[in-house]
With several copies, the nearest count.
Chain A
Amino acid sequence: MNDMSRHFDVDTIRRQFPILDQKVHGKDLVFLDSAASAQKPRAVIDAMVHAMETQYANVHRGLHWMSERTTDAYEAARDAVQGLLNAADRSEIVFTGNSTAAINLLAHSYGRAILRPGQAVLISAMEHHANIVPWQMLRDATGIELRVADITDAGELDFADFEARLADGRVGLVAITHMSNVLGTYTPVERIVRTAHAHGARVMLDGSQAVVHRTVDVQALDCDFYVFTGHKLYGPTGIGVLYGKRELLDAMPPFMGGGDMIASVSFERSTWAPVPHKFEAGTPAIIEGIGLKAAVDWVRGIGFDAIAAHEATLTEHALARLANVEGVSVVGRAQDRGGVVSFTLDQAHAHDVATLLDRQGIAVRAGQHCAEPLMRRLGLDSTARASFGIYTTTQEIDFLADTLVRVSEFFK
Chain B
Amino acid sequence: MFDDVRDLYQDVILKHGRRPEHMRRLASFDATAKGDNPMCGDRVQVWVKYGADDTIAETGFEARGCAISIAAGDLMTEAVQGLNRGEVGRLFADFGDMVRTGTCPDCMGLERLKPLSGVHEYPSRVKCATLPWHALIAALDDKQEASSE
A interface residue numbers (CB < 8 A to B): 25, 60-63, 67-68, 71-72, 262-265, 273-274, 348-352, 355-356, 359-360, 366-368, 372, 375, 380-382, 403, 406-407, 410-411
Contacts and interface: CB of A to CB of B under 8 A. Distances in A.
Contacts of B5: 355-356, 359
3 residue pairs, one from A and one from B, having the closest CB atoms: A382-B41, A351-B66, A349-B66
Given A263-B148, A351-B68, A410 B9 contact: yes
Contact of B39 (A25, A61, A407, A411): A61
Q: Is the interface of A mostly helix, strand, loop or mixed?
A: mixed
B108 interface: no
Contacts of A359: 2, 4-5
Looking at chain B, what size class is its interface with the partner chain? Answer: 20 to 34
Contact of B41 (A60, A375, A403, A406): A375
A264 B124 contact: no
A90 B85 CA distance: 30
A273 B40 contact: no
Interface in B79-138: 122-125, 128
Contacts of B148: 263, 273-274
Given A348-B66, A411-B67, 10 more contacts: A63-B125, A68-B123, A72-B123, A274-B149, A351-B42, A352-B9, A352-B67, A355-B8, A359-B2, A406-B2
A351 B1 contact: no
Contacts of A273: 148
Nearest to B13: A352
B24 interface: no
Interface of B: 1-2, 4-5, 8-9, 14, 17-18, 36, 38-43, 64-68, 122-125, 128, 148-149
Contacts of B125: 63, 351, 355
Contacts of A263: 36, 38, 148
B120 to A, nearest CB: 13
A372 B40 contact: no
Contacts of A356: 2, 5
Nearest to A273: B148
Contacts of A71: 124
Q: Which of B1, B5, B39, B43 has the most CB of A within 10 A?
A: B39
B2 A262 contact: no
A352 B129 CA distance: 13
A95 to B, nearest CB: 18
A63 B128 CA distance: 12
B51 to A, nearest CB: 33
A205 to B, nearest CB: 27
Contacts of A368: 38-41
B147 to A, nearest CB: 8
A349 B43 contact: no
Contacts of B14: 411
15 contacts: A63-B125, A262-B38, A263-B38, A349-B65, A350-B41, A351-B40, A351-B68, A352-B66, A356-B5, A367-B39, A368-B39, A368-B40, A372-B38, A406-B2, A410-B9
A62 B38 CA distance: 13
Nearest to B8: A355
A60 B149 CA distance: 13
Given A406-B1, A410-B9, A348 B41 contact: no
A410 B18 CA distance: 12
A381 B1 contact: no
A264 B38 contact: yes
B2 A381 contact: no
B65 A410 contact: no
Contacts of B123: 68, 72
Given A63-B124, A359-B5, A264 B36 contact: yes
A264 to B, nearest CB: 4
B65 A411 contact: no
A262 B65 CA distance: 19
A375 B40 CA distance: 11
B122 A367 contact: no
A349 B36 contact: no
B65 A351 contact: yes
Nearest to B128: A351
A406 to B, nearest CB: 5
A249 B64 CA distance: 32
A352 B68 contact: yes
B128 to A, nearest CB: 7
Given A351-B65, A352-B67, A411-B67, A382 B4 contact: no
Interface hub of A274, A351, A372 (most chain B Cβ within 10 A): A351
A311 B15 CA distance: 40
Given A351-B125, A372-B38, A411-B18, A25 B66 contact: no
B39 A60 contact: yes
